[in-house]
């Protein structure tokens, strides 16, 4: 991907650079423009290489990734506009070349006359191409504003999403039970303790009966929770706070995939952090929630994901002993686990995270879109199939890009309802 991104950015740079040089914009023809243009591009690619290959501080890595993302988006938009103009001008050139009034001339003569095939006379002081080029510069700069605002505000703009879960087999004692879910804290990315605390206080204001955390407490190492442990320890619920591990929690992105003493100690420290905060970490195991002598099962598995993500979870082991439970609620970090394994079990609802909704997109009551949909079949919200449900929380924190645009950090509050979902007329 690093090589692909580098080649793609170079192609963008090459095309736009010479397009700008061909305009009447005087600054684009100077030596300083060339130095700044190619210096920035080379510097950005070097930064991308360093962030991928070396263990640099997250703050620096985030700056590099955001700069790359903003640059790529802006240049992609600009290229679309330039291509449309080139297609338009090419069409004009071809039309002139084969115009009926010049049929008697040879093709060579006509090409000779049109050796500069794309000239245009300025209209009101500016040619159409000049207008499109300058408009393209303006339009290409527009993504900078929402992306910048996403860093200033979006990363901590917590949103409570309420979701009813209809379960025909739910014991009557659990009707109306409220479960809160958060996911993907990524504490190593945080830089505003007051804002993080505000989100936790918002969650506790919902007065949930139970709380689920579905993985990725840290980016890389357990010590990232040092400054935030006391904040997340404030999560309390009468029936308990239950948690599982996500792909980032194992330390693979810091220590490598090979086993080592340091890596084992880090994972042990992370598990201890869950315990210190009062969270019940489920490692391929289950717990009974009991109300008025009726019970349902909460099941948790270690990370299990398709593709390059680790398959550490053992779902069969985690479900052992839940055979008599009328309802099974599963915590599993990666939503791809649902279609790969969970749909073949009697799990009623799976709660997941992992996707972040790519931290970029549009999310409304009846419509949602994000680049995440091209990577994950289930990427945000509620999905239902075979009378079974999956809910994907888009995350409490952020990773890489230090903000969110459109896909805000999420606190989900579920209400369990005994019965079938009503059919809307």
Considering only CA atoms, give the Rg of the chain: 27
- Strands 410-418 and 178-182, by their bridges, are antiparallel
d(CA 295, CA 211): 17
Helix and strand element counts for the chain (H, E)? 12, 14
The model's pLDDT over 202-229, given as tens digits with 9 standing for 90+, comes to 999 999 999 999 999 999 999 999 999 9
Tokens read off for 45? 């690619």
First to last CA, the chain: 48
pLDDT score, position 168:
96
pLDDT at residue 177, as a whole number: 98
Give the separation between CA 331 and CA 300, rounded to whole angstroms.
5
pLDDT (0 to 100) of residue 115: 47
- Supply 368's token pair: 């949602």
DSSP result, 317-379: HHHTT-TT-S-EEEE-S-THHHHHTGGGS---EEEE---GGGGBSEE-SS-EE-GGGGT-SS-
Q: What is the pLDDT of residues 306-317, one digit of tens each?
A: 988 889 999 999
**In whole angstroms, what is the distance from residue 136 CA to residue 74 CA?**
10
Give the Å distances, CA to CA, from 308 to 51, 137, 305. Answer: 20, 38, 8
Residues with Cβ within 8 Å of residue 178, at least 6 apart in sequence:
206, 207, 208, 209, 210, 413, 414, 415, 416
Q: Which residues are CB-neighbours of 228 under 8 A, at least 6 positions away?
A: 185, 187, 190, 193, 196
Q: What is the pLDDT of residues 272-293, one digit of tens each?
A: 999 999 999 999 999 999 999 9
Question: What order of strands is seen across the sheet that includes strand 210-214?
Answer: 159-167, 410-418, 178-182, 210-214, 241-244, 280-281
Q: What would the pLDDT profile of 374-409 be if each residue is shown by its tens digit?
A: 889 999 999 999 999 999 999 999 987 778 888 999
User: pLDDT tens-digit profile of 5-50?
Assistant: 677 778 888 887 887 777 677 777 888 888 888 888 888 888 878 8
Give yes or no for a contact between 301 and 315, defined as CB atoms under 8 angstroms apart: yes
Q: What are phi and psi of 118, to 5 degrees?
A: -120, 30
State if pTM tops 0.85.
Answer: no
Q: Which residue has the tokens 């749909």?
A: 343
Among 46-50, 228-232, 326-330, the least confident range: 46-50
């Amino acid at each position: 991907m690093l090589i692909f991104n580098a080649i793609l950015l170079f192609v963008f740079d090459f095309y736009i650079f010479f397009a700008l040089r061909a305009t009447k914009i005087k600054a684009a023809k100077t030596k300083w423009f060339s130095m700044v243009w190619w210096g920035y591009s080379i510097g950005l690619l070097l930064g991308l290489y360093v962030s991928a290959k070396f263990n640099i501080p997250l703050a620096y890595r985030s700056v590099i990734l955001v700069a790359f993302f903003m640059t790529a988006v802006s240049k992609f938009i600009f290229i679309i506009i330039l291509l449309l103009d080139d297609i338009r001008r090419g069409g004009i050139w071809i039309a002139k070349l084969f115009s009926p009034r010049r049929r008697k001339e040879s093709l060579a003569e006509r090409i000779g006359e049109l050796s500069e095939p794309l000239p245009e006379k300025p209209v009101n002081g500016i040619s159409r191409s000049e207008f499109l080029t300058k408009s393209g510069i303006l339009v290409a700069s527009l993504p900078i504003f929402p992306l910048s605002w996403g860093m200033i505000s979006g990363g901590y703009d917590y949103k409570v999403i309420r979701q009813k879960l209809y379960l025909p087999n739910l014991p009557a004692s659990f009707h109306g039970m409220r479960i809160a879910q958060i996911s993907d804290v990524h504490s190593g990315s945080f830089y505003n303790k007051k804002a993080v605390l505000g989100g936790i206080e918002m969650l506790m204001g919902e007065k949930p009966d139970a709380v689920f955390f579905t993985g990725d407490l840290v980016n890389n190492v357990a010590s990232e929770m040092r400054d935030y442990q006391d904040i997340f320890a404030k999560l309390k619920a009468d029936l308990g706070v239950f948690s599982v591990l996500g792909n980032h929690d194992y330390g693979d992105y810091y220590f490598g995939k090979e086993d080592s003493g340091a890596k084992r100690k880090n994972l042990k420290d992370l598990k201890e952090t869950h315990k210190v905060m009062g969270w019940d970490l489920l490692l391929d195991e289950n717990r009974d929630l009991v109300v008025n002598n009726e019970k349902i099962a909460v099941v948790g598995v270690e990370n299990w994901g398709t593709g390059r993500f680790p398959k550490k979870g053992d779902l069969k082991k985690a479900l052992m002993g839940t055979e008599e439970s009328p309802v099974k609620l599963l915590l599993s970090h990666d939503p791809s686990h649902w279609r790969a394994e969970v749909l073949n079990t009697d799990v009623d609802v799976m709660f997941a995270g992992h996707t972040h909704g790519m931290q970029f997109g549009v999310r409304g009551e009846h419509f949602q879109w994000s680049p995440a949909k091209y990577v994950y079949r289930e990427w945000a919200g509620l999905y239902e199939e075979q009378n079974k449900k999956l809910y994907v929380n888009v995350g409490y924190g952020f990773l890489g890009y230090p903000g969110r645009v459109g896909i805000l950090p999420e606190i989900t509050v579920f209400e369990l309802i005994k019965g079938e979902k009503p059919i809307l007329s």
